[in-house]
């Protein structure tokens, strides 16, 4: 039977040879890996040497849409990018909304594989009738917004994926952007584009996504839309306040980090100044949405005559309270600048906070910081620090390497709040052991999404809610949350749908689109397959099990939660890590997928 939902076409681009080749994707590969993260991970795994230098021509970028992309399935316009991360040296795996993935599909392709390095700045131009590698010399050196405007000036229906100056200068945590402000953010994909001299990919097309069983697809879609309209978070909270609506809740749960995770103590008046409610009152112009999304969590905002998007929750905290800053206007303008220059605001904030603590502890001084006093609370230096980082000027050159390498340069890597050299997002792991285990075992380094968004399980989980300090339940819970994340990333859908329902409506929609019958059990098996591939890649790239650990601060420096002093001890970390490996069918203590588990998920060849 002919499968619906896909063109079965992979576009392979070799920038070194300036060649374009289209090949057919095998039916079995599409059935077993669906699309998005799963399909991109498998193709990446088979094509790249894990020991390659992430900034060399040997690194590969794979970008994939899903069978649901191009349909009216709610939120199903997300794309997924896989690469070897220049920040961590491990697998990089980043997901992005907006509209670019939808337009890639409308151009007639399901997946792109990019390898090699162009001698000069390059633009890839993709249409249904042709794919060309052209010059980007006229836009090299421009920011994301100017690049997008130039490339769409005479092509209003085109969509642009591009890097800013941070990517061009191979900042290790630079982003690849689409729709100007939507980011493939974590792990440094922008640096990989920059190392390949790839400035942008422009896509346009009008091809439709074929649906094999309309009635089955429509039944699943109607079920999903009904539940989303009934669930408070997807119906109201995210639309009214955006992701910044979580600020007060996470602070109430005593999880909001402060001054490089030194504590979790904030004044209520300060929190009110950086809340979603404050954004709505003072900065919001209108809500916005990714393509085909009814949730509409985007914030189109304005500050002092300048307009942009955001800030989102993570950006708000990491450039704000994490740096001791509660000036909403300064944070918002810094967020705009990160988007324009193409920087991951989570790592930017985490690295800035690390530098601030090193400065205040006297480990570094003005001689090391271009004469700038890096003090917590100094909102006036945020934008200049971001600019210097993107252009690798002065101290910015060292900041551009990320917090771990910066702190290591001054012989104090323990001040980097990172896992696998990736900066920890805006939830303190001492306030939720489940979240802490997610950071530890995330294949991409500390990531609230790839690691499993345990916050939703701890506070919005309903019948599935578990105690935040449960050593016994956390390993299985995180395995399950990570599996759910892999499924969502592979379907090309938004994580926020998980606040309303799990996988059943999606299995009905996917079955309707493709014509194949998918069960929730098959989704879980696929997720285990992807988790094993990511783990094996990382092991071959040099990962060892001690890398699945939190920085020393979280086991030695307590914070107060629910009136009690708490840390996440080394003993507790070891216990949860080993139980997690067991839940995955991996060896203890090394975390190596066993032959038996690989055979059970049809990966015996690796």
Q: How far apart, in Å, are the Cα atoms of 164 and each of 196, 217, 338, 343? A: 14, 39, 9, 8
Domains annotated for the chain, with CATH where assigned, are: 9-203 (3.60.9.10), 243-423 (1.10.569.10), 432-499+519-600 (1.10.599.10)
Shortest CA distance to 85 belongs to which of 190, 185, 188? 188
pLDDT, position 459? 55
Helix ranges, 255-298 (H): 268-273, 276-282
In the block, which residue shows the tokens 């189109």? 300
> Which residue reads 């193409």 in tokens?
342
Q: What is the pLDDT of residue 115?
A: 98
Report the 3 state secondary structure along 75-92.
CCCCEEEEEECCCCCCEE
pLDDT in tens, 415-452: 999 999 999 999 999 999 999 999 999 999 999 888 87
Q: What per-residue confidence (pLDDT) applies to 1?
A: 56
* Alpha-carbon span 137 to 197, nearest angstrom: 10
Positions in the chain whose pLDDT score sits under 50: 462-463
Q: Which of 543, 563, 566 is nearest to 554 (CA)?
A: 566
Report the DSSP pairing between strands 111-115 and 9-14. parallel
Contact 16, 118 (CB under 8 A): yes
Nearest one of 547, 506, 501 to 526, comparing CA atoms? 506
pLDDT at residue 359, rounded to an integer: 98
Quote the tokens at residue 85: 């991360």
State both tokens at 534.
């990511």
Q: How far is 410 from 13, CA to CA, in rounded Å?
A: 41
The answer to whether the beta carbons of residues 412 and 403 sit under 8 Å apart is no
């Amino acid at each position: 039977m002919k499968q619906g939902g896909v063109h079965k076409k992979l576009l392979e681009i070799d920038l070194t040879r300036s060649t374009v080749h289209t090949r057919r994707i095998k039916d079995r590969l599409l059935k077993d890996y669906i699309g998005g993260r799963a399909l991109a991970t498998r193709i990446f795994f088979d094509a790249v040497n894990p020991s390659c230098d992430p900034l060399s021509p040997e690194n590969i970028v794979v970008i994939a849409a899903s069978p649901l992309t191009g349909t009216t399935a709610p939120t199903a316009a997300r794309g997924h990018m896989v690469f070897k991360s220049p920040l961590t040296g491990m697998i990089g795996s980043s997901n992005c909304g907006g509209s670019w993935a939808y337009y890639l599909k409308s151009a007639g392709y399901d997946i792109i594989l990019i390898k090699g390095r162009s001698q000069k700045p390059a633009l890839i131009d993709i249409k249904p009738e042709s794919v060309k590698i052209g010059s980007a010399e006229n836009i090299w050196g421009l920011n994301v917004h100017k690049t997008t405007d130039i490339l769409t000036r005479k092509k209003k229906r085109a969509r642009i994926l591009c890097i800013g100056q941070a990517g061009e200068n191979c900042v290790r945590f630079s982003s690849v952007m689409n729709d100007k402000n939507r980011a493939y953010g974590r792990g440094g994909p922008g640096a990989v584009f920059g190392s390949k001299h790839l400035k942008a990919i422009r896509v346009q097309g009008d091809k439709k996504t074929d649906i094999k069983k309309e009635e089955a697809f429509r039944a699943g879609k109607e079920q999903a839309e009904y539940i989303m309209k009934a669930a408070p978070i997807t119906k109201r909270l995210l639309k009214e306040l955006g992701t910044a609506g979580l600020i007060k809740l996470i602070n109430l749960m005593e999880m909001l980090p402060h001054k490089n995770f030194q504590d979790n103590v904030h004044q209520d008046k300060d929190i009110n100044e950086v809340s979603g409610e404050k954004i709505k009152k003072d900065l919001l112009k209108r809500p916005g949405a990714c393509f085909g999304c009814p949730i509409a969590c985007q914030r189109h905002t304005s500050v002092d005559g300048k307009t942009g998007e955001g800030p989102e929750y993570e950006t708000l905290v990491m450039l704000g309270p994490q740096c001791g800053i509660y000036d909403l206007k300064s944070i918002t303008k810094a967020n705009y600048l990160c988007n324009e220059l193409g920087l991951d605001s989570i790592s930017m904030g985490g690295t800035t906070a690390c530098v601030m603590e090193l400065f205040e502890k006297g480990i570094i001084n003005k001689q090391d910081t271009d004469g700038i006093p890096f003090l917590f609370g100094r909102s006036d230096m945020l934008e200049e620090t971001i600019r210097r980082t993107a252009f690798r000027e002065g101290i910015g050159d060292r900041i551009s390497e990320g917090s771990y390498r910066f702190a290591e340069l001054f012989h104090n890597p323990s001040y980097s709040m990172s896992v696998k050299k990736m900066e920890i997002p805006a939830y303190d792991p001492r306030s939720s052991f489940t979240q802490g285990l997610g950071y530890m075992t995330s294949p991409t380094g500390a990531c609230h999404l790839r690691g499993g968004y345990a916050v939703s399980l701890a506070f919005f989980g309903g019948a599935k809610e578990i105690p935040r300090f449960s050593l016994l339940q956390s390993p299985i819970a995180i395995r399950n949350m990570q599996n759910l994340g892999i499924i969502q990333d592979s379907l090309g859908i938004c994580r926020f749908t998980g606040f309303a329902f799990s996988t059943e409506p999606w299995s009905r929609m996917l079955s309707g689109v493709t014509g194949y019958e998918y069960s929730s059990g098959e989704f879980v098996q696929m997720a285990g397959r992807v988790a094993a591939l990511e783990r094996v890649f990382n092991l071959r790239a040099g990962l060892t099990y001690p890398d699945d650990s939190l920085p020393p601060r979280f086991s030695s420096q307590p914070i107060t939660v629910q009136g009690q002093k708490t840390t996440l001890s080394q003993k507790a970390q070891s216990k949860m890590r080993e139980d997690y490996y067991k839940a995955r069918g991996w060896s203890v203590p090394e975390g190596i997928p066993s032959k038996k588990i690989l055979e059970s998920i049809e990966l015996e060849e690796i």
